[in-house]
Structure 1
């Protein structure tokens, strides 16, 4: 794609933004440095504040707002107070005219709004860059929330993302910093996430999946989607009547026991991550509600994270290590799932810093403890040491950071580490049980069938080769050539030693035979043999003491 005239504005806006921030402390942070409290405070005094950065991203447009939200899940790229500001980044945009909303709905669903709903509030409950949400009532009497995508927003996102992809590719050609932090890969990740978030059909499926997975948690509520009234640009789901979880007023809810709610919330997220491998990836307080019937509702499933079996197992081990304050265990798990150069990474320093971080958090309550922050700091420690931890752990850290905020708001004295520790045993049993499903057993039986079928032939072949002395064993544990050379060197030196001994014995015997030719009173031939033996002996000692030691 070339730089076309109609793209000039996008490029100019982008480069103005980069010129302002590229040499600032915001983008100089990703050198893996872990900021001390003093340095964090110094950054807060810098001309470009986190609030200024968020405002500039808003001015750049909805794509850049989403970029900022994505960066808030990358603690390895930004200092904490910038990341916290980006986590709350929301774009305040004017509502779309109701006539436009009607047109989009009819185009997507194929019916007029009045034919589907008995009531549809023309004033939106919320209006964001991608879409806006309206309250409505179905003919069946159910109250629903209808999210309708803004017209033209998909085209704008794709154009902005294409521009960013092209720029990031060119920047990596000239910037070592951009290459070292995979600037192009970050943009590519953004593109992948945003294009999925633009498809409301996927969000409807995510709602259905999470609701099914969370059905055993009675104190949690996931709104159901209405597939018949959903499309890629329209999402219809159950209406949640309540308030944001951080807006819960203690005086108004003084009689409510929040600890069982928090307990179930933590366990549900551990189950999502470790058992289901399908988790709500953006549980910031705006997406978690306290309902009027005293339940916790999980909203906005546009962004989910999926963990494979190996990652689920590693995360479970990691959470157990964190809950037991076992720094050695945590560092071992991190190293096993990460990529690093063994020659350049100081493993002992890495383990020592992880241990310090884990022990500093010991015996803290919810109001003081930040499990997510601990994991984010661990990620930054790893970046400092050159250990590349999977991006999934950054997302996990962001999820836990949001959990910390919710738990601290509702139950400041809650012991989250104890909950994780006690629930880990249950999760391990559940993982083992889930692995013994019908598909796994069938696969195991097929493997056993193949083994049983081939085993008689293999045993017969083995016994035949053994009987006819044709059995060969190939060992790759050593370097054969190096071993042969070393063995030959030893044999040569033994031979040389025998020769030296023979020369000395022969010379000693010749000393007793009279001779007309003498040297220092000794027979000449015997003297020559002694000298020759001494020279060979000195040479062998020199080889052993100086040459072999340096190899």
Structure 2
């Protein structure tokens, strides 16, 4: 790229400093530029006053400034000889002070560093280079002081002079792997990878040591453990209980890091977007940190900023974890405890999803649609024009924790809607907020707001149908049917060595335990979690998406219990399920849907008959069933049974339709009469066929 300063007449160069080490590096760079053009070098230092100038302390500051000016003049002569000049200014605004000094001295090029500007009174002043570049009337060069050793000719009037704003990722895998091995050995985890002990107490000790090792290995490994704590289908329960306790002790990002990442993502100067910014983070995590801010429009927002090294750190540790999984994951002893291949796949998918903030923004918008029917539930709005994969700008929810919500009908309504919405999220939409702990639920404007959509869950269509049946079985206290549904969900219906009677007995005990509990303890979420534990013990773990859903349901029921202790979760579930079934029946009565479903039933019935005919050898070309009885007799039975089944199902559908349309005021009177007549004729035909077949 052509140097824009080539051909320019540069007689005077000014550089700002606060005499810190990084600022001195910027001065060195500016001195090199002045020497190249044989220009004079002006070094300016701004002292931010702490006291009024008329006071005794203010006069002391003036005296200190004179002394600082003498020191700076000596420094300037050391750097640039006779061409070096010094200027110390007392001003509450460092950026404007430097701009005014440049105007007074008729400076041609003004050099500032992006680090080391001390004396800031608020976070935005940390972005002094941008403010200078916007207000100065001369050429401004911003030097990346963190990498100023790379002294290249400036190629842009307003740019960092480092080759790379984001350092290249060169993971030191060998050194990191050695450190990991040493920590694992220190915590005595080597036997975990060589043998499996059935003793629960020993496994709990191993799990405790594993937690200690992950915490010592740093935030990334703590994050890995936290992700795994949501998957009881991948790890034994002893490990899950320990990993839940993991704490990520992460130091907050520096102001310069927050500014740098934000400007890289915004593509414009920081102060062009934000009017103010709270330097104290609301939260600092492994991947990102959250701050309050105010936009230039006056809107109050929260800003989620990704750590500059988050992706590199996670990629490095995932690469090591993948190598580890390949080397030891196939050991039989380890596989009895952990399925390393599934663990790595889950970790990689989850962490890469969390690294892209656009996923979280899309989750929020999708949840907004899911909650559209609930006037007491809401989510923050997204500033899409300011949000990227590493920066998320959202409406600030200026509320209070839900347990502090004022008493009143709004609180009672919100509690019921919150619980009911989770049945809808999980059973109907198959998309739910997977971490609804009290810190992620806020009360504002008489509504409950969901926060932090970094963790969401998805439930497939088939599993949603099974879960619907499961909740209905719980509502009706039918342990036998609940067992059947659970086995269908776990694909254990055809397992020959499975003790169904014992499994049903334990499921029944769990159901009885919770149904007999007091109203405050009557929780569907914990019940489902305990059922999951029973299933794991019998070697038929529930699907991963369901275990995450039951965990979320357990959390949300604790929240609703705080809002309304008198709320019966079974009553909420039962009434919602009834409305859902009526709605589905109503949808089925749509003429187009009714005809379509009837044709599907007809096709499926014919396929069953054809399959049976192929099986007994009636149709040529199909598999033959060799039996010691007459196939023709069986053929007649199959044909008669299929015909009667079709008549019975169609008659039942007509009766149901006639009854439902009778209660509707929007349907003409002849419709239920017609369906009733059809039902009567079909029923008569079925009776005649039964009598004839005797």
Aligned equivalent of 1:473: 619
Unaligned runs of 5+ in 1: 34-38, 456-470, 485-551
Aligned equivalent of 1:229: 386
Asked if the contact 1:271–1:427 (Cα under 8 Å) also holds between the matched residues in 2, the reply is no
Aligned equivalent of 1:119: 276
Sort the Cα spacing of 1:142 and 1:338 in 2 relative to 1 into closer, same or farther, 3 A. Answer: same
Superposition pairs for residues 250-399 of structure 1, below 5 Å?
253-254=406-407, 258-291=411-444, 293-340=445-492, 342-365=495-518, 367-399=520-552
Cα distance between partner residues in 2 of 1:267 and 1:101: 39
Cα distance between partner residues in 1 of 2:437 and 2:178: 32
Aligned equivalent of 1:243: 400
Cα distance, 1:419 vs structure 2: 0.9
1:129 aligns with 2:286: yes
Q: Secondary structure at the match of 1:351?
A: helix
Name which of 134, 155, 177 aligns with 1:10.
177
Sort the Cα spacing of 1:408 and 1:83 in 2 relative to 1 into closer, same or farther, 3 A. Answer: farther
Root-mean-square deviation (CA), in Å?
3.6
Sort the Cα spacing of 1:104 and 1:441 in 2 relative to 1 into closer, same or farther, 3 A. Answer: farther
Sort the Cα spacing of 1:383 and 1:80 in 2 relative to 1 into closer, same or farther, 3 A. Answer: closer
Asked if the contact 1:366–1:407 (Cα under 8 Å) also holds between the matched residues in 2, the reply is no
Name which of 412, 428, 451 aligns with 2:581.
428
Name which of 3, 13, 20 aligns with 2:188.
20
Cα distance between partner residues in 2 of 1:224 and 1:271: 22
1:57 aligns with 2:214: yes
Q: Secondary structure at the match of 2:496?
A: coil
Sort the Cα spacing of 1:379 and 1:220 in 2 relative to 1 into closer, same or farther, 3 A. Answer: same
Cα distance, 1:261 vs structure 2: 1.7
Name which of 332, 345, 369 aligns with 1:188.
345
Sort the Cα spacing of 1:394 and 1:151 in 2 relative to 1 into closer, same or farther, 3 A. Answer: same
Cα distance between partner residues in 1 of 2:378 and 2:206: 40
Asked if the contact 1:366–1:404 (Cα under 8 Å) also holds between the matched residues in 2, the reply is no
Cα distance between partner residues in 2 of 1:473 and 1:365: 61
Sort the Cα spacing of 1:129 and 1:308 in 2 relative to 1 into closer, same or farther, 3 A. Answer: same
Give TM-score scaled by structure 2 length.
0.57
Q: Secondary structure at the match of 2:302?
A: strand
Q: Secondary structure at the match of 1:235?
A: strand
Q: Which moved more, 1:96-105 or 1:60-69?
A: 60-69
Cα distance, 1:96 vs structure 2: 0.8
Cα distance, 1:282 vs structure 2: 1.6
Name which of 200, 211, 216 aligns with 2:373.
216
Q: Which moved more, 1:61-70 or 1:308-317?
A: 61-70
Aligned equivalent of 1:172: 329
Name which of 291, 308, 315 aligns with 1:151.
308
Cα distance between partner residues in 1 of 2:497 and 2:182: 36
Cα distance between partner residues in 2 of 1:140 and 1:363: 56
Sort the Cα spacing of 1:70 and 1:436 in 2 relative to 1 into closer, same or farther, 3 A. Answer: farther
Alignment deviations for residues 159-197 of structure 1 (CA, whole Å, 9 cap, x no partner)? 111211221232222233426642220221111011011
Cα distance, 1:86 vs structure 2: 3.8
Bigger RCO (CA 8 Å, 6+ sep):
1
Cα distance between partner residues in 2 of 1:290 and 1:79: 36
Superposition pairs for residues 499-518 of structure 1, below 5 Å?
none
Alignment deviations for residues 341-382 of structure 1 (CA, whole Å, 9 cap, x no partner)? 612211221112111111111142453234222212212211
Cα distance between partner residues in 2 of 1:305 and 1:474: 49
Q: Secondary structure at the match of 1:367?
A: helix
Cα distance, 1:53 vs structure 2: 5.7
How many aligned residue pairs are there? 442
Alignment deviations for residues 127-149 of structure 1 (CA, whole Å, 9 cap, x no partner)? 11111111111233221111000
Sort the Cα spacing of 1:77 and 1:195 in 2 relative to 1 into closer, same or farther, 3 A. Answer: closer
Q: Secondary structure at the match of 2:330?
A: helix
Cα distance between partner residues in 2 of 1:232 and 1:421: 41
Cα distance between partner residues in 1 of 2:448 and 2:212: 31
Cα distance between partner residues in 2 of 1:356 and 1:429: 31
Asked if the contact 1:131–1:149 (Cα under 8 Å) also holds between the matched residues in 2, the reply is yes
Name which of 95, 102, 105 aligns with 2:252.
95
Sort the Cα spacing of 1:119 and 1:12 in 2 relative to 1 into closer, same or farther, 3 A. Answer: closer
Cα distance, 1:47 vs structure 2: 5.9
1:416 aligns with 2:569: yes
Asked if the contact 1:106–1:112 (Cα under 8 Å) also holds between the matched residues in 2, the reply is yes
1:106 aligns with 2:258: no
Alignment deviations for residues 42-73 of structure 1 (CA, whole Å, 9 cap, x no partner)? 789x76786x7655433322332222222322
Q: Secondary structure at the match of 1:232?
A: coil
Unaligned runs of 5+ in 2: 1-170, 607-616, 630-694
Sort the Cα spacing of 1:434 and 1:392 in 2 relative to 1 into closer, same or farther, 3 A. Answer: farther
Cα distance between partner residues in 2 of 1:116 and 1:443: 57
Sort the Cα spacing of 1:304 and 1:5 in 2 relative to 1 into closer, same or farther, 3 A. Answer: closer
Sort the Cα spacing of 1:289 and 1:43 in 2 relative to 1 into closer, same or farther, 3 A. Answer: farther
Asked if the contact 1:366–1:411 (Cα under 8 Å) also holds between the matched residues in 2, the reply is no
Cα distance between partner residues in 2 of 1:442 and 1:254: 47
Cα distance between partner residues in 2 of 1:158 and 1:177: 24
